[in-house]
Amino acid sequence: MKKRIIYYLLVLMTVMSCKVDTSSKSVLLKIDLEPSSASNAKGTAIFTELNKIVSLDVKMQGLKPGTHGIHIHEKADCSATDASSAGGHWNPTFKPHGKWGSISCHKGDIGNLIANEDGNAMLSVDTAEWCIGCGDSTKDILGKSLIIHQDADDYVSQPSGNAGARIACSGIIR
């Protein structure tokens, strides 16, 4: 009996000495992109936040083969048939449109994804420039939308990269 009590005390002391890291909380958000502008484009996007890094993984189908712009827009509203209700590119820092990762670009300027001959495309991005539900208006992507465009983003034309019609849209909401 004495040995058993000592054993339980040792186990309890070991458990109590372990530190739990609560800073590595993971947040996961999956959205479905639906066709707009009479397209057949649809897909899914998964946003994951871990240790203050947001990862975005997009899988699309029904695209025309080639390059398509992908951006985060101002509002989680895809109700208009052409997705114009989503507003312009999300730009909380008031910078000119540009290429992802450059010093001068919108927070929503993700860039381009490339569809293969079957109309399928995938894209993965990691960034510390976004958060999911943190409340920081310059980083929080909740309440915005993710949009796939008909054409490539040229990274130069203002204010949106001349990427053409919005062919798939989803609100970034829980």
| CATH class entry, domain 21-172 | mainly beta
Residues catalogued as catalytic: 71, 73, 89, 97, 106, 109, 149, 166
Q: What is the average per-residue pLDDT within 18-30?
A: 61
pLDDT bin (cut points 50, 70, 90) of residue 12 is very low
Q: What is the pLDDT of residues 25-45, one digit of tens each?
A: 678 999 999 999 999 999 999
More confident residue, 3 or 119: 119
pLDDT score of 101? 79
How many Å apart are CA 53 and CA 12, to the nearest integer? Answer: 35
pLDDT score of 83? 98
% of the chain surpassing 70 pLDDT: 86
Is the confidence at residue 3, as pLDDT, over 60?
no
How many residues does this entry show for the chain? 174
How many Å apart are CA 69 and CA 149, to the nearest integer? Answer: 5
Query: Who's near 39: CB < 8 A, 6+ residues apart?
Result: 62, 150, 165, 167, 168
- Reduced to 3 states, what is the DSSP secondary structure of residue 125? strand
pLDDT bin (cut points 50, 70, 90) of residue 5 is very low
Q: What is the pLDDT of residues 101-157, one digit of tens each?
A: 788 888 999 999 999 999 999 999 999 999 999 999 999 999 999 999 999 999 998
Each domain of the chain, given as residue ranges in start order, spans 21-172
Q: For residue 60, what is the enclosing H or E element?
A: strand 53-61
- Rounded to two decimals, the pTM is 0.84
